Chain A
Amino acid sequence: MGSIKDRVAIVGMGCTRFGELWNKGMEDLAVEAAYEAYDDAGISKENIEACWYSQVMAPVIGVSGTVAADSLKLGNIPIIRNENWCTSGHIALIEACLAVASGAYDIVMALGVEKLKDTGFPGLGTGRGMHPVYEARRTSPGSFGLIAQRYFKTYGLDDRQGREVLARIEVKNHDNGSLCPKAHFRNKITVEKVLNAPIIAYPLGLFDCCGNSDGAACAIVTSAERAKEFRSDPIYLKGFGVATDSVMPHFRPGFSWTSFDSLVTSSHKAYEMAGIRNPREELDVAEVHDCFSITELLIYEDFDLSPRGKAKEDVESGFFTREGKLPVNIDGGLKCFGHPIGASGLRMTYEIYKQLQGKAELPERQVKNPRLGLAHTFGGPPQISAVAIFGNEKG
């Protein structure tokens, strides 16, 4: 696999407030994210040569990029819709970067929009994948509850110990989210509150699960050579990795349920391209896919941020808190933003982009002098993972 390290840069980004936005439709969300990004990059829609559009929920056979075209009046340019479950936003962005790196386009847009709160029910519904029988009763919390149960068993944690480790992750994320104006949930919580909350899919309780929200985020991508024409502090793509595991993990013989090949592979590919040998030491900030508390725990280990089976110790020592060595989900993560599926990858990238520019809204949530940041999404049954690593300097 080749490399596009330092060949493309993000020169503008936008992100809506996330939440139960009853009075905003998909088109409103697209307009707000895109126009913030235009302003940030100092461009207008006429400059956009192609758009990679991420949206997961589709009410009919195909929706293509019509929402982007109709709302933004992006007439007669390619709009390529990406649907890869929770990783859609990241993969749209990566595809946009690859298109610029190829030389085919100079300025492109990656836009993720999701309107979950028009469905009439609070979750994502039941059933994932393609089969009406094998998938019939699967819910998102259930899929990840299976992982938590097995993780506890494998590492000898009783239910109380296991749930307490997970609770600390969510206490951290809510603490971070409380400082983030665009987050859906901005309340601080305690371990006791997490443990006493209603169970959603045992052993996962209410606070182990991210919310369902509406939101949109947008990135303007150009070549690294041209980046400084738009701004003095562009953010460069250092590396990426995408992996869709070849099998339904649920039926795969011997599958451990405590580690996912797609997580390991995608992160290692991204580290390799970015030239990172020791991510625990070299990364300054990371946004990872905390759809559920257990997911964040698993990612610490599969991403080599914690030694295998030892993530508990890093959680307990505060390694991943705002004040810790490697702040993870410093904006509150999916836990506080909720997870409008197609938008999340770009929302996480927005946070890394702002952190690397030193432009977090409040000084108390700005990481000190960051150089490298990672953004990541993980989706499906789960089986698909996308990682992108960004830096604020070339080389």
Chain B
Amino acid sequence: MLGISLIGSHIPVLRIDRGIIATNWNRPSLGGERSVANNDEDSITMAVEASRNCLRDTGPQDIDGLFFATTTAPYKEKMNAALIATAADLKREISTADFAHSLRAGTGALKAALDAVNSGSLARCLVSAADCRIGYPRSDQEQAFGDGAAAVVVSRENVVALFEGSHSISNDMIDVWRNPEDTFVKTWEARFVLGEGYANHMTEVISGILKKYGLEPKAVSRVIIPSPDMRSYKNVAKRLGFDLDSQVEDPMISTVGYCGTAQPILMLVNALEKASPGELILLAAYADGADALLFRVTDEIKKASHHRKINAYLNEKIMLPSYARFLSYKGLVETLPGEPFRLFPSATVTWRDRNSIIRAHGSRCRQCGSLAFPVQRVCFNCNAKDDFDEEPIANLEGEVFTFTLDNLAGRSDDPVVIQTVAEFGKDKARFYGMMTDCEPSEVKVGMAVGLTFRRIYEGAGMHNYFWKCRPLRNGRSE
């Protein structure tokens, strides 16, 4: 048995109605809404959240590989997967790799994971893909793109989607690209991009895999054709003889948008969250050629999985009120910073304290049993010295103990910093930090919160990540 055993995703809580973008440019709206990474999210944090979500039922201890795919890596040089692995609290003895530079990096990472587990090189490989690409202002891409992440675990045990085979085509053409200095995604003429590029290669790879495994289109229960817009996938599906209503998966453009490298994996997770045993799933991905993979859903899919489902993400959202905020959250408009930081980030501090800062480990005293965060060498409670075990707090649920809505430290497009003191878990470990994904007016003492990994500030030429509280509006499992 080789296939996918665990699934998870992360869709930012912020959305913008495409009508707001369209009205601003006096253009028609593509319809629906798109996700927007919060101003403390990037591809690393989204991949961390998707990975944690994916591992919710099993924990991180058995994972021995992490492959991260993106075209929007926060670090151009430095392994992003190493940071994601640390924040996801994976063990040190693992293989990590970044897959990048193409929207096929997601399926590329998935295929590499399947090969690695099939060969016996890895036992359980986490594949996490995330993207937050930026379209030119006024372009169709600006409306169509979304930000998001998805993750799956490839293994030989507890497989919910059995890997049945794959087919790939490589093709060099300049249709969608970014040069090293580019902020925005460049494209050639749309008819070339969508016709010769997208439609022809999607058609070729899907008909190729069907032929390779002797399948008729009607044998496929769910066909996943990620789409750069609202309708291009329909033309491909029709051309191949798939029934749009009964076989073709929703490309999630109207609710989330086109999340680049993450989109094929996100759609696969979405399909598996609805799938029944015995179904045949065909996953395709296009960019510089195309990939197609076949999965057979197993009985394992019937076992309850407590990861947070895509539906829960779709149902919890905060609408961005203006195009200006969209531009500033995308980093395209510079904002007035809040009061300056008096403490400069330090690579050595982050490295030395990584178990607390990045892994969110606290210390449980071996003498009195109390749990404190961050790790304390001398126990707060009984003063025992250096006698503790590290314990993760990232997945604990908590309650706000006190908070303040601070107007001094925030940036001008997001002026209120919600400073929060919360108590986590039955041990009531104290956490002090910021609250995110939240309207200031909804914060109350006693409100339920979880922890989420976020980028907290830039300084000393590097990104600085830490944990924040986020509201658990509908409980954890929802």
Contact = CB atoms under 8 A, between A and B. Distances in A.
Interface of A: 121-139, 141-150, 153, 198-204, 247, 250-255, 257
A132 B407 contact: no
A145 B406 contact: yes
B408 A133 contact: no
Given A133-B345, A137-B419, A251 B431 contact: yes
B78 interface: no
B445 interface: yes
Given A130-B343, A137-B419, A137-B456, 9 more contacts: A125-B341, A126-B340, A132-B346, A133-B350, A134-B433, A134-B466, A141-B406, A145-B405, A201-B419
Contact of A252 (B357, B430, B456, B466): B430
B432 A134 contact: yes
30 contacts: A121-B340, A123-B408, A125-B339, A126-B342, A127-B343, A132-B344, A137-B409, A137-B457, A139-B406, A142-B406, A145-B403, A145-B406, A146-B402, A146-B403, A147-B402, A150-B401, A150-B445, A153-B445, A198-B407, A199-B405, A200-B406, A200-B407, A201-B405, A202-B440, A204-B404, A251-B430, A253-B371, A253-B380, A253-B381, A253-B428
B342 A128 contact: yes
Interface of B: 338-346, 349-350, 353, 357, 370-374, 380-381, 401-409, 417, 419, 421, 427-434, 440, 445, 456-457, 459, 464, 466
Contact of A153 (B374, B402, B419, B440): B402
A142 B380 contact: no
Contacts of B371: 253
Nearest to A204: B404
A133 B349 contact: yes
Contacts of A201: 404-408, 419
B404 A146 contact: yes
* A122, A146, A198, A254 pick with most chain B CB within 10 angstroms: A146
B464 A132 contact: yes
Contacts, number: 150
Contacts of A254: 428, 430
A135 B203 CA distance: 54
A197 to B, nearest CB: 12
B372 A251 contact: yes
Nearest to A148: B404
Contacts of A121: 339-340
Contacts of A252: 372, 380, 430
B408 A126 contact: yes
B370 A253 contact: yes
Contacts of A130: 343
A245 to B, nearest CB: 11
User: Which 6 residue pairs of A and B lie closest in terms of their CB atoms, listed nearest first?
Assistant: A145-B404, A250-B432, A202-B405, A150-B402, A142-B406, A127-B343
Contacts of A204: 404
